[in-house]
Structures are given as C-alpha cells and as structure tokens.
Chain A
Amino acid sequence: MDYTLESSLMNALFESLVELIRRTSAEIPEDVHRALLASLEEEKKGTIAESALKIIDRNIALAKQKSQPICQDTGSIIFYVDVPIGFDQLAFEKTCREAVTASTKKGYLRQNSVDSLTGVNDGTNVGPGAPTVHFHQHHSPTVSVRLMLKGGGCENVGAQYSLPLEKLHANRDLDGCRRVILDAVVQAQGKGCGPGILGVCIGGDRATGYEYSKQQFLRMLDDRNSDPRLDALEQDILKTANELGIGPMGFGGKTTLLGVKICAANRLPASFFVSISYMCWAYRRQGIELDADHAIARWLY
C-alpha cells in the first residue's frame, strides 16, 4: 500500500487539522465540562470558589459560541498521531506545521512560540520543537490525530521527584509515590489554574516520565485505571487533595482536583522518578479519525 500523500489529500488533511485546532482551542471536551459542572454543585453557595466556577462555566459557553480560545495561552501544541505502517510522516508533519501557522493567523492560537536564545516571537508558532508531533504506528488502515494544547501556567507547576526523598519521608513504594504526588498538589496551590487534573508516571527516565505523565491526559476523565493498585492510588489522591481546601484558583474550597490519572513504566534499579504533570481546568484535548480522503470521519472525545 502506498501512503505517500498526494496534494489533494494534503489539502484535505490541512483543512481537517485546522478544524481540529479550532475546536480544541475553543471547545472544552464534554467529560471535562461534566466534571466542572459537578464541582460547581459541590461548592458552597455564595463563596468565591462558586463564583470562580460560574465564571469558568460562562467562559466555556462564550468560547464555544464565539469560536475563540477558551484561554489566551493556547499552550504547547502536542499532536499524537496513530498511523498505518508505511504512512508518510514527513508530509504529515509538514502539513501539521502549516495548519498551526494558519490557525494562528485565524486567531485560534495565540502567537505563542518564542526563540529561546533571542526572545524573538516570529508569530508563526512554528520552530525547533514546536509543534510537537508524536507518531505511533498501528496495524490499522486508519489515521487518528489527538491534539493537546497545554498552557504554560499549568506546565510550570509540573514536578519530578526522585525517590527516596528524605524530607518528605518518601520511600521507593506506593506510599512514597502518594506523598510526593500530594506534595506537588500543595506546591501548585492555585497557580496551575485549578481545579486541575494530574497526569502521573511512576518510573521511566527523566524524559519518558514526563512524557508518559502527559499522555495520561488522553484518557477520559471518568475512566478507571485497569490496574487495581493504580486505580486505588488515583482515587485516594483525588479524595485527599479535595480535602486540603485549596479550591478553584487557590481561593479555598472543595474542588482542588477534577481527576488523577497514573501510569507506571519500568525504571532502572538506580532510578525511581515520579513525574507529575498538571493540567488546568481549561483542559484542551480533542481528537479526530480521518477517512480515506483525510476528511474528519469522527471526533474522538
């Protein structure tokens, strides 16, 4: 089978990707919206926590109606692409970059990518490492594209711990993991635009740990971990974090986290990392499956 992209397919792919970017930036996924509405019910009436969540809910409606970014920080642009064997990844990535620049011109994305050495923002959102495209081959003829836009405020409160960590009495076991994850929640306070969602990887190396922790955000918010040990830890962290009184925006309140997603990766005997990514309430992730003509066949969230 020949997966080299012809120009008509490239054009269709470009249109599909621009629509994916628009919708990811402007529309909160339903599972996240449901969780936010549930937390609004939980908060005491007349508190600033309730007031904050009401503004958040109004913002979600306005962004969708106006087809404009939910948050002005349209974030790191991270594509996860599942492709058939032999698929032309180079052509795909080139089209991704063009779609990102076009979406920036349309205002779906902020001019958000800065040269780290010169400080220059050329307004294209494209440069070394930007956007990020992760390809994954699978034994299926379909192409699916998931997109995450992860803002800098929440990225900055991510944390990586190396166990054992004496000052937190964290040993190389699940209790040690629990201690450092909850420490990350307390350190983050409201700075990551809570109520937030944690993606955690136990193990891996310094790079893969963070990478896998981010991939946890591709899960549905209301799913359950298939590993009963990690499921128990996820539920425990969620419950405990919501007892700490940090609340939306760190104003105080009942909702500190909307969800916790944890995975494990093998590690070296010498290393034991726990990598924690924090996603803000403006949890922008969407996905599309493409049809044979590279139009959008269906939405994945």
Chain B
Amino acid sequence: MIRLQTPLTEAAVRGLRVGQEVSLSGVVYTGRDAVHKYLHEGGLLPDGVSFHDGVIYHCGPVVMKEPNGDWKVTAAGPTTSIREEPYQAQIIRDFGVRAVIGKGGMGDQTMAACKEYGCVYLHAIGGAAQVLAECVRKVRGVSFLEKFGSPEAIWELEVVDFPAVVTIDAHGNSRHREILAHSQAELAKRL
C-alpha cells in the first residue's frame, strides 16, 4: 500500500505503477459529466477551486445537509469514467491534474495525457459508497450546486486513507488494456 498526500508532486505520480494499491489523503474535487463538458467548452473553474497538482474524483455523492448547516457525505463511490474520455486529456493538460479517480478505466487519449503531463488514473471500488464515504472527513465547499444539481456539482472533499488501485500509470501502461487483450484471447480459445 502506497500512501499519497495532496497536493501531489509530479515525481510522486511518476513513481506509481499499474497494479499498485494506494491510500490517498488530502483534498479531492468531484467532477463528472456536466463539469467535464463545461470545462471542455471553455468554462472557468469557480474562485477558490484549483485542480493544479490536484485530484478529480468522478463521483456524484449523496450529500445531506445537517441541522447546523454543514454538509455530510453519506454515499460516495466512483462513477463510470469512460464517459469523460472525450474531455479528460484536455482537462489534465489545461488544469494540471495529477490524479483522476473513477471506475471502469479510461481510453487511449487519457492514457497518453497521463504519460505526457504526469498524471495517473486511480480505480476506486465501484459501488463501495459507504466505505468511501467513511474516508470523507469533511465537505469544504460546493460549486455549481444550482447549475448542475447535487450529483453533478463540484464538491471539495477532505479525504483520509481513500483506497484505490493504479490502473493507468504515467508510463503508458493500462491495466484495462492488458485485461481486455487477455480476456479476448481467452474467449477466442473457448468459442
């Protein structure tokens, strides 16, 4: 298990390899379909939100408002990342993202951007909304809540020991590509 702390350095990110389990602490920003499309079309991040050396989490959490007005994340697993494939490489480049957390993996453009700009894809456990919500210790803020709705908003979350697996590294390796090729070959033997 490799411990990661935000802000992430390029050296720390380039030190990671596909198949390693990591435990991330620090700040992550949620961002999914609406946010990616918005940034791709030239939208600006709100004041105080920076992805530089930071982490984007493909997640639409369940967030409840507590009686004292604080937000509490009650479910926060990853959403399917491949939908952001048309946008992710550009966002990694333009905003200096060091890690993208999601599930299901991403494609060749993202893999190339990870290699070129020093970024990794961290695969969280899909569906593990409670284990991952426990890792969220605080909601620091929210942007675009009205504009995009709660699941699509940018939530700024403080996380501790968030577990994930490196499945795309900064060296042009993708676990997803390897497993796809392996499984296709195994299936061909069984048809």
> How many residues of A sit at the interface, in one of the four size bands?
35 or more
Main secondary structure of the interface of A (DSSP, over half): loop
The 5 A-B pairs at the shortest CB distance, nearest first, are namely A121-B149, A72-B75, A191-B104, A193-B126, A62-B130
Could you tell me the distance in whole angstroms from the C-beta of A18 to the nearest C-beta in chain B? 16
Known interface pairs A55-B163, A66-B130, A152-B80; A246-B179 also in contact (CB < 8 Å)? yes
**Interface pairs (13), CB distance under 8 Å:** A63-B130, A66-B130, A110-B60, A110-B75, A186-B180, A190-B104, A193-B103, A193-B126, A244-B183, A244-B187, A245-B186, A246-B183, A280-B126
Main secondary structure of the interface of B (DSSP, over half): mixed
Could you tell me the distance in whole angstroms from the C-beta of A142 to the nearest C-beta in chain B? 33
Task: Report the bound CA distance from A189 to B179 in whole Å.
Answer: 8
Q: CB-CB < 8 A to A190: which residues of B?
A: 103-105, 126, 176, 179
A72 touches B179 (CB 8 A): no
A186 touches B187 (CB 8 A): yes
Q: Which A residues are closer than 8 A to B by beta carbons?
A: 48, 51-52, 55-56, 58-59, 62-63, 66, 68-74, 107, 110-112, 114, 119-121, 123, 151-153, 156, 169, 179, 182-183, 186, 189-193, 240, 243-247, 249-252, 280-282
Interface size on B, residues (CB 8 A): 47
Q: Which B residues are closer than 8 A to A by beta carbons?
A: 19, 21, 34, 59-62, 64, 74-77, 79-80, 82, 103-105, 123, 125-131, 133-134, 149-152, 163, 165, 167, 175-176, 178-180, 182-184, 186-187, 190-191
Among A69, A73, A193, chain B packs the most CB atoms within 10 A around the CB of A73
Q: B21 is contacted by which of A48, A62, A169, A179 (Cβ under 8 Å)?
A: A48
Task: Report the bound CA distance from A120 to B179 in whole Å.
Answer: 38
Q: CB-CB < 8 A to B129: which residues of A?
A: 59, 63, 68-72
Q: CB-CB < 8 A to B123: which residues of A?
A: 249, 251
Task: Report the bound CA distance from A58 to B165 in whole Å.
Answer: 17
Q: CB-CB < 8 A to B77: which residues of A?
A: 71-73
